[in-house]
Amino acid sequence: MARKIYVFDTTLRDGEQVPGAKLNKRQKLEIAEQLARLGVDIIEAGFPCSSPEDLQAVKAVAEQVKGPVIAGLARALPQDIDIAWEAVKPAERPRIHVFLGSSDIHLQKKLRRDRESALEQAVEAVKYAKKYCNDVEYSTEDASRTDFEYLCRVVDAVIKAGATVVNIPDTVGYAIPEEFGAMIAKLKEKVPALNNIILSVHCHNDLGLAVANTLAAIRNGAQQIECTVNGIGERAGNAALEEIVMAMKVRPAFYDAYTNINTKEIYRTSRMVSRIMNIPVQPNKAIVGSNAFAHSSGIHQDGILKDRSTYEIIRPEDVGIKAHKLVLTARSGRSALRYQLKELGFELQEEQFERVYQRFLNVADRKKEVTSEDLKTIVEVELTKVPETFSFFSLQTMSGNTILPMASVTLLKDEEKITESAVGNGPVDAVFKCIEKIVKKTAKLHDYDLKAVTTGTDALAEAMVRVEIDGTLYSGIGTSPDVIEASARAYVNAFNRHFAKNGENHP
């Protein structure tokens, strides 16, 4: 039968230790309420003795948040434990979490004491906390660098003193998955009392192995995982809650374990924590990053449209994201473009689609990403095109505040390239004169409008012109990431309207 794994969330304590991420009482309450909706089993609401403000914030969480166990952290000191109890005692299910270093490095360099006196302090701290609260967790800080035999002695002693949860932290992210998993298995073998309480792990990410170490511990008998939303925390952070939970959900047969997390609340929780703590989520972050369900490769997009399981092992909806995202770039293929056009409400004939596709490639070659607004504009321009007597091919311009603006423009007519050069009052004026030379007609410019269709420095520009040709006004429109090219396309479009209307057989 699959084992229940308890999720101990320490976003409000360890996560808050990120520089600049300090939370006030209202913010802690907001995140804690969401963590309860997410379904975590334990919320470590803070370190009450660290400040009067944190004491009040933890107390507020204990008073108002229902469902999860509410824990407060304390050093193995009576005064810390007193304050922790004051903070969590209003909770429906309070827990005092006591910790003390166990590695020789911590004992000698930080605590300035020997193993035996530290062991005695640990036992006394658990007994003291037990007077207040039945649920007491004990953490052997820096366990992964602790002498194993001494670690076994500490664990056995604190269980006998009354600890209901024992936590084995990889405090500095030193462990390797195979090693850490083996240590958990060996610890359970050497300390039979662990079978009567909950064995927990708390892994840091200094080597990028926090999630891997946590999963290895689960495989070897750990029953509680300590983690944070988005993996935030001291230094390189903690094991990411969303990654551990989804690994277990995607590979249930491998882990033979489950959590009570409502995975559809994962994305919402991630964004809330990111917003309130002002810690951005990296785009390629597993599960919750903006690119986690984004596909830009044409091959991947084609596979996704045929069957999502080709390139997605998690449904976006399962973590609270509405759908996967097809990012249109120069690598996108026809399948992805057709899909996005259909999503925007465009049903194109094959000939129309090919025109749009070629124009799309032209834009995508010069933009990192083609947005929906870009695509709408491309389609609208292509679908309103008149028969092209001339079509734009290329241009070059040279201008500056100390030289005369010059331009060279090449247009296609019946697949023949025609090139002309000209100077003007500015680069756009020079381009317009080149076009007039090629089409052998002049026009009087009445209106010229240029705007950005989308936002950003690589926005698609839309140029609109109204010109008078042989006494009649014609409108022209053109788009391009390059404003001068957009202007040139608009000017050519206006002349093509003139030729189409008058049925001229242009020489």
| 69-83, 140-154, 331-345, 372-386, range with the lowest pLDDT | 372-386
Mean pLDDT of the residues in the chain: 89
pLDDT greater at residue 501 or residue 97:
97
Q: What is the pLDDT confidence band of residue 351, given thresholds at 50, 70 and 90?
A: confident
State the CB neighbour count (10 A cutoff) for residue 344. 12
3-state DSSP assignment of residue 198: strand
The residues, any chain, with a CB within 8 Å of residue 403's CB and separated by 6 or more, are none
26 Cβ contact partners less than 8 Å away, ≥ 6 residues apart: none
Of 493, 495, 474, the C-alpha closest to 485 is 493
In the predicted structure, residue 343 carries a pLDDT above the cut 50: yes
Q: Which residue has the tokens 């079978």?
A: 195
What is the reported pLDDT for 193?
96
Spatial contact of 320 and 292, defined as CB atoms under 8 Å apart: no
With a cut of 60, say whether residue 323 has pLDDT above it: no
Residue 452 burial (10 A CB sphere; 0-12, 13-18, 19+): middle
67 backbone φψ class: left, alpha, beta (φ>0; ψ -120 to 50): left
Query: What pLDDT score does 375 carry?
Result: 76
Summarize the confidence of residues 138-145 as an average pLDDT: 97
Judge contact between 164 and 158, C-beta under 8 A. Answer: no
Residue 324: strand, helix, or coil: coil
- The predicted model gives 96-109 an average pLDDT of 96
Interval 208-247: pLDDT, tens: 999 999 999 999 999 999 999 999 998 999 999 999 999 9
Residue 497, pLDDT score:
84
Residue 394 corresponds to which tokens in the numbers above? 């290329």
* pLDDT score of 354: 86
pLDDT of 325 > 60? The answer is no
Q: How far is CA 144 from CA 49, 123, 171, in A?
A: 26, 20, 7
Q: Which domains does the chain have, with CATH numbers?
A: 3-277 (3.20.20.70), 294-383 (1.10.238), 391-502 (3.30.160.270)
pLDDT at 301: 60
- Predicted pLDDT at 320: 81
403 closest CA partner among 424, 419, 428? 424
pLDDT digits (tens, 9 = 90+) for 478-499: 888 899 999 999 999 899 989 9
Three-state SS at 469:
strand
Tokens standing for 178? 């195979």
How does 263-277 read in b/e, with b if 16+ C-beta sit within 10 Å?
bebbbbbbbbbbebb
Q: In what order do the strands lie in the sheet with 416-423?
A: 391-398, 406-413, 416-423
Give the per-residue pLDDT at 507: 46
